Amino acid sequence: MYSLKEAWVKMHGAVPYEGWDGRVLCDRTDGAMTFRANRTQGFMAAYTFTLVLEGWLTIIYNGRQLVLEPNDLYVYSPGMSVTIVSATKNYRGICLLVDEHLTLESDTVRDMIRIAYLPIVRLREPKIALSDDVAAVFRSRMEEILRYLSSDNAHKGAIVEHLYAVFLLDIQSVLEQSVENEPAGKRAEEVFVGFIRLLPENFLEHHDIAYFADALSITTTYLYRVVRQLTGRTVVGYVNQFLLMEATFLLRTSKLSIAQISDRLHFSDQAAFSKFFSRMKGVVPKEYRRQKQ
């Protein structure tokens, strides 16, 4: 998939400003700018969060038509199938784009992601309807990120990562309140939420679908079908994403040997871990560590 920087250049022909590292971007958007995203949707390794400020936007998300209206926060996850169909002439929004690798590897964001992972993957609706007051808070957060990105602050990279973590926790807070005030969802959604709650505490020791299915008292076939249906991804794909997050973190920040990291992540041996990491990152663990030092 395209990195955020590659996707932006493909959409707009150039980087947004000189010296941009391609990790985080926040920008105001309109209909013409939004339609350019069709060039990379489904192939961009970045999370995007779009807050609709004015007008309406119609999209096809995993085969379903959705209408985004003022105060809707739309969440795009890497690899999801999305097509922007139409936009009103007065459509305006503000969009936060975050490279997938920052989300998976950032020292600042790492633990926050475990807490706030559900809003990133969502269930079947990739949009969150916000009240006027809450939408104003999210807009303020995004504009603050925009201001720092365009500033000369020597520490703006670290500050923006912190602000991104706060932004995710704001989303989590909104979702927790909505869950408390809504009746129980369908069985499939309950199963998926159960899986997401189990994942952060168990992915290190349990890499297989059978463990999670047993913990939820369902069959492996049913769990696989539910996760695939609601997200377009697989149970193993989620587990692998968390393993990769932990592996890259340990390679970058710890003095553990590769064999020790392999053992901590409960791979059968170092060779199996190296094969996994190389498949996921395109580089062996030793070389990745050397690049990041």
One domain for residues 153 and 219:
no
One domain for residues 127 and 258:
no
Q: Which of 117, 152, 181 is the last residue of a domain?
A: 181
CA distance 135 to 52: 9
| Beta strands in the chain, from DSSP E residues, in sequence order | 24-30, 46-54, 57-61, 64-68, 72-76, 82-87, 92-99, 127-129
**CATH code of the domain covering residue 40:** 2.60.120.280
CB 230 within 8 A of CB 188: yes
What domain range is 271 assigned to? 187-292
pTM for the model stands at 0.66
One domain for residues 150 and 241:
no
One domain for residues 112 and 23:
yes
One domain for residues 175 and 60:
yes
One domain for residues 169 and 276:
no
CB 81 within 8 A of CB 106: no
Q: Which of 116, 147, 181 is the last residue of a domain?
A: 181
Task: Provide the pLDDT for residue 122.
Answer: 44
Query: H or E stretch including 167?
Result: helix 156-181
One domain for residues 243 and 286:
yes
Task: Provide the pLDDT for residue 119.
Answer: 46
Please tell me the total count of domains within the chain. 2
Q: How many CB atoms lie within 10 A of CB 107?
A: 11
Give pLDDT tens digits for 197-233.
788 889 999 999 999 999 999 999 999 988 887 777 8
Do β-strands 82-87 and 57-61 pair in parallel, antiparallel, or remain unpaired? antiparallel
One domain for residues 166 and 198:
no
Q: How many CB atoms lie within 10 A of CB 100?
A: 18
**CATH code of the domain covering residue 238:** 1.10.10.60
CA distance 259 to 22: 32
One domain for residues 172 and 219:
no
Q: Which of 137, 159, 181 is the last residue of a domain?
A: 181
Q: Long-range pairs for 127-133 at CB < 8 Å and ≥24 separation?
A: 127/66, 127/68, 127/72, 127/73, 127/74, 127/75, 128/72, 128/73, 128/75, 128/171, 128/174, 128/175, 128/178, 129/71, 129/72, 130/51, 130/71, 130/72, 130/73, 130/174, 131/71, 132/71
One domain for residues 28 and 78:
yes
CA distance 111 to 125: 25
- Residue 257 has which token pair? 């040997």
- Residue 78 has which token pair? 């890497």
Q: Is the dihedral of CA 125, 196, 97, 27 positive or negative?
A: positive
CA distance 167 to 142: 8
Q: Is the dihedral of CA 156, 3, 119, 195 positive or negative?
A: negative
CA torsion 129→131→133→137, rounded to 10°? -10
One digit per residue, the tens of pLDDT, for the chain of length 293 reads: 678 898 899 888 999 888 898 999 999 999 999 999 888 866 677 889 999 999 999 999 867 899 999 999 998 876 666 889 999 999 999 999 998 777 656 555 555 554 444 445 544 467 889 999 999 999 999 999 999 999 999 999 889 988 988 898 888 778 767 654 444 346 777 788 788 778 888 999 999 999 999 999 999 999 998 888 777 788 998 899 889 888 988 898 889 999 999 999 999 999 999 999 999 888 999 999 988 77
One domain for residues 144 and 222:
no
From the list 98, 231, 101, 252, the residue with the least C-alpha distance to 165 is 98
One domain for residues 173 and 207:
no
| Residue partners of 152: CB distance under 8 A and separation at least 6 | none
Residue whose pair of structure tokens reads 């808070």 in the numeric block: 137
